[in-house]
């Protein structure tokens, strides 16, 4: 008989996690660095007891908000290119529910995070316990069933022996590059403490290999035959290239065949901005370089991309009637998108195979197309330079984003209240120019992701970290903690709007407790500016998106001022309030000298983000309205939509 060890479920789980490893390209490392936790009555005497008694090599990090700590776990795993991760544990009820949003964020972005929420009693004897949901039609349903919709694998350990199959399947999904994301193992609080004689082999060292899936030779040959009929190719650098660590293969392929490339949010910053074939961000939040070439491309080679609506401008950005798609993706689901030719493979294996087969032909792009690409790159670089140096010039100033708002009135009010007339795009340029070349920028929501994908110049590999699969407000500050844990020797800057900061920044004070320095650069325009632009640009008024005092007729009083620097100081951070370019430069330089987390509260003029470039985005607009503006917008938005509908 196999030797056994008598442990509680929680103790066995901790011991199991300590013995999981990931191997990729011959490099092996611990799968889990630690566990983020907020202990409640549903898990403190289970997981808490197990960690206190024998955590092994796992580092227990205390969170301040369950969603915030899970965002930190996601930031860590994303920065580690999915080769190492954290688990997150909470009590059942509100704590577990807080983590559901973070689980959705992880799954949408294909980032591995293990969720271990406490659950209600499996034996049901004390029911209903505190924080228990009672569903009269099904007593087996608990709050943790909410995780099912947002996780790639879900399980509940209702008996101690179930833990073994639950754990093995959890590792299967977490280490699967084609199907990774959030994984949930719900742990009933009575079962967490129940003992079982676990076989010793359950705790043996397990190495989970991430193998490079080779493409089918048939698919490669078909792709080459298709390319031979095309003259204007365009590559898309997706997040799958980064996670595959395939940037060198991608770069060599692009250079060998003179194929330009555009970047998705997940892929951007892996090949640096000044590469002559790098045309920057593509799609709805893309720049003029990639979008100009996307409009004429007759074949698009998407590598490791999910083809989101922002990448494709709602399937509209590719105007050439002859355009076809070649999709290299380890996920068959994503490889099938846009009815493309599917090369189901690891990004590096797929690129290398395509390169070797294509090299056997005499296919090449024309000198005319090379010149067209070079001109687009030059135009794009010049546009970034221009945007970075926009200055407010008074009443004659025309902002980058107008969208029908009475800018003069709003800007006058803002300047009078704050003393700042600093354009957001100018502030963005200053930050890009002043932070260290190896620094990491983190963003996720509002107008900032669009701004940075359009014009941010990534100067070091891994220096661009944007969550835009879910665009989760509140990811920025909390994920920055995880990013810093992943790369402690680099400065980390969370770029966040005032709305997202107020929504969630729980792990900023935790960074003080951990002694882990992060920097927050907060752009305060007293508005949910991105959505304000969206509603006004689609014929509406400014409704419910500016932060204003209530009057008798609604939320239409003056702007509500907030001293974010004071808030950060209350946590123990060093903080600055900025109104001018010189103040911003000085604050960034001084923040580099600090040993604790910092916050720079930058007052930026509303409507001074970076505008779009040849983009279009399908947004649901009222078919019936009293407003002539909305009626007009509806007609305009449906015209390209009808064309895009042909693209599946």
pLDDT tens digits along 495-522: 999 999 999 999 999 999 999 999 999 9
Statement to judge: residues 183 and 254 lie in one domain:
no
In this predicted structure, the answer to whether residue 129 has a pLDDT above a threshold of 50 is: yes
Q: pTM of the full predicted structure?
A: 0.96
Across residues 447-458, what is the average pLDDT?
97
Assign 641 a pLDDT band (cuts: 50, 70, 90). Answer: low
- At which of 209, 230, 262 does a domain end? 209
Question: Which pLDDT value is given to residue 336?
Answer: 97
In this predicted structure, the answer to whether residue 646 has a pLDDT above a threshold of 50 is: no
Statement to judge: residues 593 and 633 lie in one domain:
no
What is the chain's mean pLDDT, rounded? 95
In this predicted structure, the answer to whether residue 644 has a pLDDT above a threshold of 80 is: no
Assign 405 a pLDDT band (cuts: 50, 70, 90). Answer: low
Residue 90 domain-assigned (yes or no): yes
Helix (H) or strand (E) segment spanning residue 533: helix 529-537
pLDDT tens-digit series, residues 211-253: 999 999 999 999 999 999 999 999 999 999 999 999 999 999 9
Residue 643 structure tokens = 């064309």
Torsion of CA 516, 521, 525, 530, to 10 degrees: -90
Question: Which pLDDT value is given to residue 648?
Answer: 43
Q: How many helices (H) and strands (E) does the chain have?
A: 24, 24
pLDDT tens-digit series, residues 174-185: 999 999 999 999
Question: Which pLDDT value is given to residue 619?
Answer: 86
Measured CA to CA, the distance from residue 312 to residue 285 in angstroms comes to 10
Measured CA to CA, the distance from residue 73 to residue 116 in angstroms comes to 13
Measured CA to CA, the distance from residue 115 to residue 317 in angstroms comes to 38
Q: Where are the alpha helices (DSSP H) in 117-229?
A: 162-174, 189-192, 217-227
Beta-carbon contacts of 279 under 8 Å, excluding residues fewer than 6 positions away, are 260, 261, 262, 287, 289, 290, 292, 293, 373, 376, 377, 380
Concatenating the DSSP letter of every residue in 310-341 gives HHHTTTTS---TT-EEEEEES-HHHHTGGGPE
Measured CA to CA, the distance from residue 406 to residue 290 in angstroms comes to 32
Assign 404 a pLDDT band (cuts: 50, 70, 90). Answer: low
Measured CA to CA, the distance from residue 473 to residue 464 in angstroms comes to 18
Measured CA to CA, the distance from residue 519 to residue 481 in angstroms comes to 9
Whether the Cβ atoms of residue 471 and residue 530 lie closer than 8 Å to each other: no
φ and ψ at 6, to 5 degrees? Answer: -85, 115
- Count Cβ atoms below 10 Å from residue 25 Cβ, excluding itself: 11
CATH number at residue 348: 3.40.50.1220
In this predicted structure, the answer to whether residue 71 has a pLDDT above a threshold of 90 is: yes
Assign 647 a pLDDT band (cuts: 50, 70, 90). Answer: very low
Beta-carbon contacts of 562 under 8 Å, excluding residues fewer than 6 positions away, are 498, 502, 524, 526, 547
Statement to judge: residues 278 and 201 lie in one domain:
no
Whether the Cβ atoms of residue 75 and residue 481 lie closer than 8 Å to each other: yes
3-state secondary structure 406-473: CHHHHHHHHHHHHCCCEEHHHHHHHHHHHCCCCCEEEECCCCHHHHHHHHCCCCCCCCEEECCCCCCC
For the four alpha carbons of 241, 245, 248 and 252, in that order, the dihedral sign comes to negative
Beta-carbon contacts of 128 under 8 Å, excluding residues fewer than 6 positions away, are 120, 134
3-class SS at 266? coil
Across residues 480-500, what is the average pLDDT?
98
Q: Which residues face 188 on adjacent strands?
A: 119
Residue 100 domain-assigned (yes or no): yes
Beta-carbon contacts of 99 under 8 Å, excluding residues fewer than 6 positions away, are 66, 67, 70, 88, 90, 115, 117, 147
CA nearest neighbour of 372 among 316, 286, 292:
292
Query: How many percent of the chain have pLDDT more than 70?
Result: 98
Residue 21 domain-assigned (yes or no): yes
Beta strands 153-156 and 182-188, pairing class? parallel
pLDDT tens-digit series, residues 133-144: 999 999 999 999
Question: Which pLDDT value is given to residue 533?
Answer: 85
Residue 128, preceding bond cis, omega within 30 degrees?
yes
Across residues 8-19, what is the average pLDDT?
98
User: What is the total residue count of the chain?
Assistant: 648
Enter the DSSP assignment of 189: H
Across residues 617-634, what is the average pLDDT?
89
In this predicted structure, the answer to whether residue 269 has a pLDDT above a threshold of 80 is: yes
Statement to judge: residues 636 and 554 lie in one domain:
no
Dmax over CA atoms of the chain, in Å, equals 85
- Count Cβ atoms below 10 Å from residue 433 Cβ, excluding itself: 12
Assign 540 a pLDDT band (cuts: 50, 70, 90). Answer: confident
pLDDT tens-digit series, residues 455-479: 999 999 999 999 999 999 999 999 9
Q: Which residues face 566 on adjacent strands?
A: none
Statement to judge: residues 50 and 179 lie in one domain:
yes
Domains identified in the chain, total number = 4
Statement to judge: residues 22 and 150 lie in one domain:
yes
Domain boundaries, position 646: 623-648
Measured CA to CA, the distance from residue 611 to residue 613 in angstroms comes to 7
Residue 448 structure tokens = 């900032």
Statement to judge: residues 296 and 416 lie in one domain:
no
In this predicted structure, the answer to whether residue 539 has a pLDDT above a threshold of 90 is: no
Statement to judge: residues 151 and 198 lie in one domain:
yes
- At which of 378, 402, 426 does a domain end? 378
Statement to judge: residues 528 and 646 lie in one domain:
no
Residue 383 domain-assigned (yes or no): no
Contacts 24+ apart (CB under 8 A), 1-7: 2/199, 2/200, 2/201, 3/199, 3/200, 4/197, 4/198, 4/199, 4/200, 5/197, 5/198, 5/200, 5/203, 6/195, 6/196, 6/197, 6/198, 7/195, 7/196, 7/198
- At which of 182, 209, 236 does a domain end? 209
CA nearest neighbour of 14 among 175, 202, 159:
202
Helix (H) or strand (E) segment spanning residue 75: helix 66-79
Torsion of CA 248, 249, 250, 254, to 10 degrees: 100
**Alpha carbon 64 to chain centroid, angstroms:** 21
Statement to judge: residues 191 and 126 lie in one domain:
yes
Assign 401 a pLDDT band (cuts: 50, 70, 90). Answer: confident
Residue 615 domain-assigned (yes or no): no
Residue 160 structure tokens = 């101690």
Residue 384 domain-assigned (yes or no): no
Cα angle 603, 609, 613 (rounded to 5 degrees) comes to 170
Q: Residue 336: is it exposed, middle or buried by C-beta count within 10 angstroms (0-12/13-18/19+)?
A: middle
Q: Which residues face 35 on adjacent strands?
A: 60, 87
Statement to judge: residues 572 and 634 lie in one domain:
no
CATH number at residue 195: 3.40.50.970
Enter the DSSP assignment of 209: E
Beta-carbon contacts of 287 under 8 Å, excluding residues fewer than 6 positions away, are 279, 280, 281, 380, 383, 384, 453, 454, 455, 613
Residue 53 domain-assigned (yes or no): yes
Residue 445 domain-assigned (yes or no): yes
Statement to judge: residues 420 and 307 lie in one domain:
no
Measured CA to CA, the distance from residue 512 to residue 144 in angstroms comes to 31
């Amino acid at each position: 008989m196999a030797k056994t060890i008598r442990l509680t479920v929680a103790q066995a789980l901790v011991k199991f996690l300590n013995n999981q490893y990931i191997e990729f390209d011959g490099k092996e490392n611990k799968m889990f660095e630690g566990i983020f936790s907020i202990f409640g009555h549903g898990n403190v005497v289970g997981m808490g007891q197990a960690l206190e008694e024998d955590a092994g090599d796992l580092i227990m990090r205390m969170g301040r908000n369950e969603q915030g700590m899970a965002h930190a776990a996601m930031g860590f795993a994303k920065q580690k290119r999915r080769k190492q991760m954290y688990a997150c544990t909470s009590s059942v009820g509100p704590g577990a529910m807080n983590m559901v949003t973070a689980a959705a964020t992880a799954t949408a972005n294909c980032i591995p995070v293990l969720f271990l929420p406490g659950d209600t009693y499996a034996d049901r004897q004390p029911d209903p316990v505190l924080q228990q949901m009672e569903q009269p039609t099904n007593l087996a349903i608990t709050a943790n069933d909410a995780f099912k919709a947002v996780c790639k694998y879900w399980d509940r350990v209702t008996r101690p022996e179930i833990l073994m199959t639950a754990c093995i399947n959890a590792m299967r999904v977490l280490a699967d590059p084609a199907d990774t994301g959030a994984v949930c193992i719900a742990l009933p609080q009575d079962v967490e403490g129940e003992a079982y004689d676990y076989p010793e082999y359950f705790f043996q060292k397990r190495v989970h290999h991430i193998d490079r899936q080779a493409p089918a030779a048939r698919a490669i040959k078909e792709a080459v035959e298709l390319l031979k009929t095309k003259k204007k190719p365009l590559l898309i650098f997706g997040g799958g290239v980064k996670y595959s660590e395939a940037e060198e293969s991608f770069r060599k392929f692009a250079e060998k065949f003179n194929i330009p490339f555009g970047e998705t949010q997940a892929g951007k910053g892996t090949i640096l901005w000044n590469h002559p074939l790098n045309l920057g961000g593509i799609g709805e939040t893309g720049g003029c370089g990639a979008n100009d070439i996307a409009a004429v491309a007759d074949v698009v080679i998407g590598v490791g991309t999910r083809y989101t609506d922002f990448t494709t401008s709602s399937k509209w950005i590719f105007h050439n009637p002859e355009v076809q798609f070649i999709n290299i993706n380890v996920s068959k689901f994503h490889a099938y998108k846009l009815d493309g030719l599917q090369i189901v493979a690891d990004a590096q294996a797929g690129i290398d195979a395509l390169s070797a087969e294509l090299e056997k032909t005499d296919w090449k792009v024309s000198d005319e197309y090379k010149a067209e690409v070079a001109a687009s790159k030059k135009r794009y670089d010049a546009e970034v330079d221009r945007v970075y140096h926009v200055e407010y010039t008074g009443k004659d100033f025309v902002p980058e984003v107008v969208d029908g708002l009475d800018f003069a009135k709003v800007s006058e009010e803002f300047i009078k209240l704050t003393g700042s007339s600093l354009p957001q795009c100018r502030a963005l340029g200053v930050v890009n120019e002043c932070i260290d070349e190896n620094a990491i920028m983190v963003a996720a929501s509002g107008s900032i992701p669009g701004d940075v994908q359009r014009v941010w110049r990534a100067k070091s590999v891994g220096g661009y970290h944007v969550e835009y699969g879910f665009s989760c407000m509140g990811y920025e500050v909390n994920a920055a903690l995880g990013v810093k844990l992943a790369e402690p020797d680099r400065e980390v800057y969370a770029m966040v709007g005032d709305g997202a900061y107020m929504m969630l920044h729980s792990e900023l004070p935790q960074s003080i407790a951990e002694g882990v320095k992060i920097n927050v650069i907060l752009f305060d325009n007293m508005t949910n500016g991105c959505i304000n632009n969206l509603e006004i640009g689609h014929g509406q008024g400014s409704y419910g998106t500016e932060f204003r005092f209530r009057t008798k007729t609604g939320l239409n009083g003056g702007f509500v001022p907030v001293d974010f620097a004071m808030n950060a100081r209350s946590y123990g951070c060093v903080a600055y309030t900025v109104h001018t370019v010189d103040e911003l430069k000085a604050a960034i330089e001084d923040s580099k000298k600090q040993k604790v987390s910092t916050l720079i509260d930058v007052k930026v003029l509303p409507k001074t983000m970076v505008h779009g470039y040849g983009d279009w985005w399908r947004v649901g607009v009222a078919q019936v309205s009293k407003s002539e503006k909305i009626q007009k917008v509806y007609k305009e938005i449906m015209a390209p939509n009808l064309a895009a509908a042909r693209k599946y």
